[in-house]
Amino acid sequence: MDEQMGKSAQTKLFENCAYPVRQATIKEYVKVWERLSESGPFWSGHDRMAIIREARQSLECELCRRRLNALSPNAVAGEHDSVTDLPPIAIDVIHRIRTDPARMSKSVFDNALANGMTDNEYVELVGIVATSVVIDTLHQGLGLDVPETLPGSEAPPTGQEPPDVVDDGAWVRLAPRDGELNEVGIPRQANIIRAMGLVPAAIAFFFTVMRQAYYITNLPISISRSQAEFIAARVSALNQCFY
């Protein structure tokens, strides 16, 4: 209880924001931020916070800058400018996802596995980086500093029950299809949700944040569906996201 109260006192998101951030958004983001400081299935809380710090550091990384200017990121070798004690292969994956998502390729995933990362660790890491990107982008987009990382738990990863997953055309194994369609005729269990099927906890924290801004029906926001879809499509185009 004391630990929880202490954590909440440290968690300051959207503080002194000049713009009307919805209370529900603040509440859910704080909840996720605190959850990320706790140990997850495959990374400790300490490591999960380190993953966020490393993702931020990648934006200042000289190797990442040189890779961005190269015809292929795989043509440039070197060491990342790092600020954490995470394994080098984790640092490489984090920096690539954060700085150059448009040129992620299967060799990045294969190389991670070949260097000792498990597919479970990979998927949880992807979820943490993606969640921190959402939270940081919204803060900076509103003229705020990114939130401070919390002291992460040193407790070992919790592990998890083996999830039901299948090989279905992605680099990672996916949660199985449930065959149901949603209100707009798209699979209810879309591949973007199935993508983190190896680590259901990662689905939970990412989509808790995502759903504050976007949902397939009944958008919880004040702009129109067409405006939201235009923004979504433009971001996807800029990030050269095929999906």
Partner 1 sequence: MLLRGSGEYELQAVMDTTIDSGVEHGRLLGQLVDTIISRDWEQVATLREECVTVMGAQETVDAIAVASAFNGITRIADATGIPLDSGPAEATASMRSQLAINDFSYSEKSRKYDRVSV
Sign, CA torsion 111/116/119/123? negative
For residues 143 and 241, give the distance between their C-alpha atoms in angstroms, rounded to a whole number.
Answer: 26
Q: Residue 14 or residue 153: which is nearer to partner 1 going by CB? A: 14
> Tokens standing for 86?
């995470």
| Burial of 223 (C-beta count, 10 Å sphere; 0-12/13-18/19+) | exposed
The amino acid at 172? V
Considering the rule CB under 8 A, would residue 8 count as an interface residue with partner 1?
no
- Using CB under 8 A, which residues numbered 75 to 134 contact partner 1? 75-77, 93, 97-98, 101-109, 123, 126-127, 129-131, 133-134
| Total residues at interface with partner 1 (CB under 8 A) | 87
Considering the rule CB under 8 A, would residue 239 count as an interface residue with partner 1?
yes
Q: How far is the CB of 124 from partner 1 (least distance, A)?
A: 12
- Using CB under 8 A, which residues numbered 23 to 52 contact partner 1? 25
Q: How far is the CB of 92 from partner 1 (least distance, A)?
A: 12
Half-sphere exposure of 41 (CA within 13 A, CB side): 24
- Using CB under 8 A, which residues numbered 204 to 233 contact partner 1? 206, 209-210, 212-214, 216, 221-233
For residues 178 and 51, give the distance between their C-alpha atoms in angstroms, rounded to a whole number.
Answer: 32
User: Can you name the residues that pair with 181 across neighbouring β-strands?
Assistant: 187
Considering the rule CB under 8 A, would residue 167 count as an interface residue with partner 1?
no
Q: Residue 148 or residue 229: which is nearer to partner 1 going by CB? A: 229
Which of 142, 155, 166, 204 touches partner 1 (CB under 8 A)?
142
Q: Give the C-alpha distances (Å, rounded to integers) separating 51 from 26, 54, 93, 227.
A: 22, 5, 10, 33
Considering the rule CB under 8 A, would residue 175 count as an interface residue with partner 1?
no
